[in-house]
Structure 1
Amino acid sequence: MSHGVKKDVMVFSGSSNPELAKAVATDLGIKLGEVDISRFSNGETYVRFMQSIRGHDLFLIQTLANNVNDALMELLIMIDAAKRASADAITVIIPHYGYSRQDKKTKAREPIAAKLVADVLSVAGIDRLVSVDLHAGSIQGFFDVPVDHLTAVSELSDYFKSKKLDNLVVVSPDVGRVKTAKKFADFLDADLAILHKVRPNHNTAEVHHVVGEVEGKAALLIDDMVDTGGTIVEAANAVKKNGATDVYVAATHPVLSGPAIERLKKADIKEMVFTDTIPIPKEKMLPNMKVLSLASLIALTIKNIHEDGSVSSLFRGDV
């Protein structure tokens, strides 16, 4: 379904997720803008918009994943180039906001890198930020410009609703995801369970016990991202140990770094469903993985922002 916009809207893509950007432009009924992004021999990034953007409403799509630092620097240079080329408004769409887990200090002498990223984006000259399922909603408060916080809950829950799974229980992998898990449970008319988890080290998790009934039920584990796979595999093991019949996973962001693929290959998980906020390389795609596109949601968001419409109206309930 196309969501057409006026001619003064222009969408450009960084190099981190061009396929999503192309799909968004197609959904809007416009051509993806041309931009030259290259590297000098010393590694510096070069950006040049290949058409006039003066007076246009600009939307820059760049996910901060894989080579996070390169993607961020590239985006900052794109923003600077757009500002100097007299774009009327610059909205950055960051489907996956890198550094989002560093949203607070948990130990002495640590940074709050999520705030630092917000600061440098603001100084670069953005007028608005759009992101999807931030790891911490408080990141919205790190910006002085408007932030539209999208969620993939509807897309993911609709997919599992279509599967018509019997005796389903939605499982939150920790207390931090309970609010999101409750939304899934409400949409799917399912029970809710919570795992009590501790993290002895970065990228490791240990489940101490399950709060709620999972025995004899199909368990749907939900999270905002799957990074190294430690949390989700430990959670899958815990619910299976407690009598779950099948295990499914729904997560917005497929970070899939380090040992993730090897861990997930061995895990007793029937199906893992992600979105295309981060592209999954072919060599990392497993037979039990499925990717849902958020192109239509992002296109509608662009349309509503450009036409001064409501973004929150795109979602069921609070986001």
Structure 2
Amino acid sequence: MSNESIENKFKIFSLNGNVPLAEKIAEVCGVSLGKSTVKHFSDGEIAINIEETVRGYDVYLVQSTNDPVNDNYMELLIMIDAMKRASAKTVNVVLPYYGYARQDRTAKPHEPITAKLIANLLTDAGANRILTLDLHTVQVQGFFDIPVDNLFTMPLFAHYYRKRGMVGEDYVVVSPKNSGVTRARSLAEYLDTTIAIVDEEEADNPETGYVIGDVKGKTCIMVDDILNTGIVFVEASKTLMKEGAKEVVACASHGLLSTPAKELLDQTEIKDICVTDSVSVPEERHPDKLSIISCGELLGLGVKRIYNNQSVSPLFTMEPKNYE
């Protein structure tokens, strides 16, 4: 389908969460971002104005829900409502990072399941479909009663490491916690390596960690979905080096880089830290060893496939060079 016909059928709008990524997604789709304004009043209220017609259009709203999480979610909910009232044909939400996804169960008595609450809010506001990236747990898809497409970042990281020749028996993919084994195994299959796990004997004392698997003399590639304060990576890297690892690199789908991530990661022996641009973080919070790869093409192609009623499943496993 030509870009001209696409322009006549759907529009992409960005909120404040991650404008640079929204621009990349729009570029992949061959359109310009729709015109709108998002204002925050002094008392915290949010006002949104759509500055072009959306009547009869399939609309895609791009919003990452990282810090400030609650403001970003309110922007998104208000924009969904605005689009419905402006007679958009469908309202599709592109969530590169799904805030509150970690609160997906009652780990302790009387806790909320906030990931489910967010799913209800998005659906009740009027969203028709969700396109997201590397949910904390894939089961969160089941919290929605509308279609959810959850794309994966492991092919992006596989492409990143393959270009650097980091494949084969001299490398090992490591999950820095025992809950991330599935993710580590997925990346290891791309890189033709073994896997290892850093386990903690005491949950409140990461210094008691030990390694399940062989890392001696190998370069360890740690992989996680969320890089928040960096403590998990820092302590896991110490354990890996203690167990004889040659060197350690790390990657994470969503680089939240909350305080004190930069300070901690700049002091570690981790040689390279790779994240996607699923969230937008000020440069002053970037660790010195940070590399950023874009998920814009992946999400853009996801938008195009959804609009054209094509399967998105080829995007689950293909590396960037094989997308088209």
TM band (smaller chain): over 0.9
Residue 197 of structure 2 corresponds to 194
State whether residues 198 and 209 of structure 2, in contact with CA within 8 Å, keep that contact through their aligned partners in structure 1: yes
1:48 aligns with 2:22: no
Aligned residue for 1:214?
215
**Alpha-carbon deviations, 1:75-128, whole Å to 9, x = none?**
000000001001101110111100111000111111111111111111101000
Find the aligned partners of 1:3 and 1:236 in 2 and give their Cα distance: 47
Aligned residue pairs: how many?
314
Question: Quick one: distance in 2 between partners of 1:130 and 1:300?
Answer: 11
- Measured in 1, the distance between the counterparts of 2:115 and 2:92 equals 18
Partner of 1:225: 226
Aligned to 2:276: 275
1:121 partner amino acid: L
Contact 1:227/1:254 (CA < 8 Å) preserved in 2? yes
The 3 A distance-change label for structure 1 pair 5 and 198 is: farther
C-alpha deviation, 1:315, in angstroms: 2.2
The percentage of counterpart residues that share the same residue type is: 39
1:33 counterpart = 2:34: yes
Corresponding residue for residue 236 of structure 1: 237
For the 8 Å contact 2:266–2:288, the answer to whether it is kept is: no
**Residues 299, 199 of structure 1: CA spacing in aligned structure 2 closer, same or farther, 3 A cutoff?**
farther
List per-residue Cα deviations over 1:284-310 (Å, max 9, x = no partner): 223311000011111100000001000
**What residue in structure 2 maps to residue 59 of structure 1?**
60
Residues 253-304 of structure 1 show CA distances to partners (whole Å, capped at 9, x for unaligned) of: 0011121111111111000000000112111223311000011111100000
Give the Cα separation in 2 of the matches to 1:5 and 1:280. Answer: 35
Separation (CA, whole Å) in 2 of partners of 1:199 and 1:97: 29
Contact in 2 for aligned 1:5/1:28 (Cα 8 Å): no
CA separation of 1:138 and 1:247: change in aligned 2, threshold 3 A: same
Q: Which residue in 2 is equivalent to 1:99?
A: 100
Distance 2:293 2:222 in 1: 17
Q: Is the 8 A contact 2:263 2:287 kept in 1?
A: no
Tell me which residue corresponds to 2:321.
Answer: none
Distance in 1, matches of 2:79 and 2:138, equals 26
For residues 236-315 of structure 1, what are the structure 2 equivalents within 5 Å?
236-315=237-316
The equivalent residue for 1:149 is 150
User: How far off its partner does 1:48 sit?
Assistant: 1.0
CA gap 1:230/1:136 in 2 versus in 1, 3 angstroms? same
2:180 matched residue in structure 1: 177
TM-score w.r.t. length of structure 1: 0.95
Do 1:53 and 1:87's aligned partners in 2 also have CA atoms closer than 8 Å? yes
For the aligned residue pairs, the C-alpha RMSD in angstroms reads 1.7
Deviations 1:112-166 (A, max 9, x none): 1111111111110100011111111111000000000011110111101111136
Match for 2:173: what amino acid? V
Cα deviation code 1:26-77 (max 9, x no counterpart): 1211111111100223220001110000110100000010100000011000
Between 210-219 and 31-40, the greater mean CA deviation after superposition? 31-40
SS in 1 for 2:6: coil
Letter in 2 for 1:80: D
> Following the alignment from structure 1 to structure 2, what is the Cα–Cα distance between the partners of residues 264 and 207?
20
| Aligned equivalents of 1:108, 1:147: Cα separation in 2 | 29
In structure 2, the CA distance between the partners of 1:67 and 1:207, relative to structure 1 (3 Å rule), is farther
Distance 1:185 1:94 in 2: 26
Partner of 2:6: 6
Contact 1:4-1:303 at 8 Å conserved across structures: no
> Runs of 5+ in structure 2 lacking a partner?
319-324
Residue aligned with 1:65, SS: coil
Scaled by the length of structure 2, what TM-score is found?
A: 0.93
Q: How does 1:79-90 map to 2 (within 5 A)?
A: 79-90=80-91
Paired with 2:315 and 2:243, the residues of 1 have a C-alpha distance of 37
Hey, what's the Cα distance between the residues in 2 that align with 1:43 and 1:279?
21
